[in-house]
Structure 1
Amino acid sequence: MAWFVLILSGMLETAWALSLKASDGFSKPVPTVTFLVTLALSMGGLAYALRTLPVGTAYAVWVGVGAVLTAIVGMIFLDEGVSVLKVVSLVLVVAGIVGLNLAGNGH
């Protein structure tokens, strides 16, 4: 259950990042409230997952999921541009997350 919550929390990181951008410096109420709610849910999910998962791995997965998904959404829907270097870099982030999970706790 912790892994499911962690992945979902990482996805919520994308929601709060996009809401933060849409809030235009907190000048727009609806995106600002959306940012605050999704931020709280994302952090709460991370906190829940950290009760049973190693902090280094869990945090890396949370950040990685959010960063990769946010970059993909930006490239597809926000006209942020796609390049081979960006795609390769995102693949490397995913590979790093997979590697951390395969490494386990190191015991």
Structure 2
Amino acid sequence: MTGWTALLLAGLVEAAWSQSIKPTENFTRPLPTVICFLLAAGAVWLLSKAMDTVPVGTAYAVFTGIGAVGAVTLGVVLDDDPVNAGRIAALGLIVTGVVLARLA
């Protein structure tokens, strides 16, 4: 697995992790809590693998960018979070930054 593949997967797992927090109900439900911690650990492990070849600053910026866009997208799809021009513009800027980080 290349560093960039690991980084993409890490960002996707982070987005899934973001959605796994609420079902824990403040970490009072055992199974959702275990799933939440496993997703968090998986995201960080994949990020660490990506950092074997991708510079740390770039890897972290891309990781959080993918996670943020994924979290907002999942929120819109799964939780009916609001969609408006400002949010779409912000996500577009994040995606642009991730693409530029990859190309640089």
**If the TM-score is normalised by the length of the shorter chain, which range does it land in?**
over 0.9
Cα offset, 1:86, TM superposition: 0.5
SS at match of 1:53: coil
Q: Which residue of 2 aligns with 1:32?
A: 33
Name the counterpart of 2:101: 100
* Residue aligned with 1:12, SS: helix
Unmatched tracts of structure 1, length 5 or more: none
Shift of 1:50: 0.6
Identical aligned pairs, as a percentage? 39
User: Which residue type is aligned with residue 3 of structure 1?
Assistant: W
Per the alignment, residue 8 of structure 2 pairs with 7
2:55 corresponding residue in structure 1:
54
1:80 is aligned to 81
Cα separation, 2, equivalents of 1:30 and 1:80: 25
Q: Provide runs of 4+ in structure 1 moved above 6 Å.
A: none
In the TM superposition, what is the alpha-carbon distance from 1:4 to its structure 2 partner?
Answer: 0.7
Instruction: Measure the CA separation in 2 of the matches of 1:102 and 1:6.
Output: 14
TM-score (norm 2): 0.94
In 1, distance between residues paired with 2:102 and 2:42? 23
Q: How many residues are matched? A: 103
Shift of 1:102: 2.1
Rounded to whole Å, the distance in 2 between the matches of 1:16 and 1:45 is: 13
The answer for unaligned runs of 5 or more in structure 2 is none
